[in-house]
Structure 1
Amino acid sequence: MPGMCWRSSSSSDAQRTTATNPTTSTHTGRIIMGIQAVYLSVDAAVLERVAEAPAEGLLDLVEELEEAGSPRVGLDKLWDGLHFLLTGVSASAPIEGNPLSEAVVGVQVYDCEDFIACTRNDELPAIIAALDAVSIEELLAGADFARFRKAKLYPKIWADDPAQLRAELEEAFRELRDFYHVCATQQRHVLVSIY
């Protein structure tokens, strides 16, 4: 995803939660119905493999990890809306050093074309603290989906039923926050893919 890259990376790691699994693609099982965000829990060895993978093999490696059943949470297509809800800007313009932005797009970017990034375990505490400080109910109560539409967020669902959108965004937020807690507790890293 052009525009989402702001720095490059060097490492990654994670483990299984009860969070939702994404649907499937041509390579790995993701259904090609749009751009989806998936967060994988990986250990240090896997993170090193990802960091050392050649650019042309990175997507295949991520899909291999998904197929292997790496612990994960999938935000489906809500990643851009969640980023906007938390930060006021689209995920296509991530805010470096902002833990709420990094919760959605990761910290270290490996590949800009098929957006792949990671958040190392030692980077999780700041993100978790920021997520824990969010009153998702208050944010959602004040959410103006006309602003989401005006910002041209992906995908074009922001004219749908506001109550349904609020419920889906709340669920996505809670699943992502809980996933980060599990990864931190288990000394795992988070591999982010948005494609």
Structure 2
Amino acid sequence: MGIQAVYLSVDDAALKRLGEAPAEELLDLAEALEKADCPQVGLDKLWDGLHFLLTGVSASSPIEGNPLSEAVVGVQVFDCDDFIACTRSEELPAIVAALDTVSIDEVLAAADFARFRKAKLYPKIWTDDPVQLKTELEAAFRELRDFYHVCATEQRHVLVSIY
């Protein structure tokens, strides 16, 4: 199955529980929220490629203070073995504004998948059909952007889990 990214819309109570939980319980709490029908978006395996497309670097090297990077990897990373991060509702307007400035058609037109391969992005799919990859990346971008809009409008937080 591989490493996948899931973005959950969580309320204040859920975020507080996560913030107070011991590190060894964070993954179980995140999975429980995922199964509890929290509004969510899954980017499957495209998270690293989307981060690279938007920022020019792998998600393994997040750019602090860059809202496009933070859209993919979150703002505050929890101290645990798995990658779990959150973006608080008050941080969402800057991320939404940055996502809204992206002309995804232009960005994809300039995408060079040889650069994705050279950067050794996860997973090793960047030799696949470029038209299909662009279609998948466009769908992932639009779904994530729309999800952030909803979370910002509803003043909810975003929990990011990549594992």
TM-score range, shorter chain: over 0.9
Contact 2:82 2:162 in 1 (8 A): yes
Counting aligned pairs with the same residue, the percent is 83
Aligned partner of 1:149 among 117, 127, 151: 117
- What corresponds to 1:59 in structure 2? 27
Aligned partner of 1:88 among 56, 60, 66: 56
Gaps of 5+ in 2: none
- What corresponds to 1:179 in structure 2? 147
Q: Distance in 2 between the 1:36 and 1:111 partners? A: 19
Q: Distance in 2 between the 1:115 and 1:164 partners? A: 28
Q: Find out whether 1:38 has 2:6 as its counterpart.
A: yes
- Helix, strand or coil at the partner of 1:35: coil
Q: Distance in 1 between the 2:159 and 2:79 partners? A: 12
Cα offset for 1:113? 2.3
Q: Distance in 2 between the 1:111 and 1:170 partners? A: 31
Cα offset for 1:112? 4.9
Q: Distance in 2 between the 1:111 and 1:43 partners? A: 20
Q: Distance in 2 between the 1:118 and 1:93 partners? A: 17
- What corresponds to 2:138 in structure 1? 170
- What corresponds to 2:156 in structure 1? 188
Question: Structure 1 counterpart of 2:41, which letter?
Answer: V
**How do 1:72-151 and structure 2 match up within 5 A?**
72-151=40-119
Cα offset for 1:111? 3.4
Q: Distance in 1 between the 2:37 and 2:79 partners? A: 22
Q: Distance in 2 between the 1:162 and 1:180 partners? A: 27
Gaps of 5+ in 1: 1-32
Q: Distance in 2 between the 1:112 and 1:89 partners? A: 23
Aligned length: 163
The one-character-per-residue Cα deviations of 1:46-83 (angstroms, maximum 9, x if unpaired) are 00001111000000000011111111000000000000
Task: Name the TM-score, length of structure 1 as normaliser.
Answer: 0.83
Q: Distance in 2 between the 1:139 and 1:112 partners? A: 34
* Runs of at least 4 residues off by over 4 Å: none
Q: For the aligned residues, what is the CA RMSD? A: 0.6
- What corresponds to 1:20 in structure 2? none
The one-character-per-residue Cα deviations of 1:22-52 (angstroms, maximum 9, x if unpaired) are xxxxxxxxxxx10000000000000000111
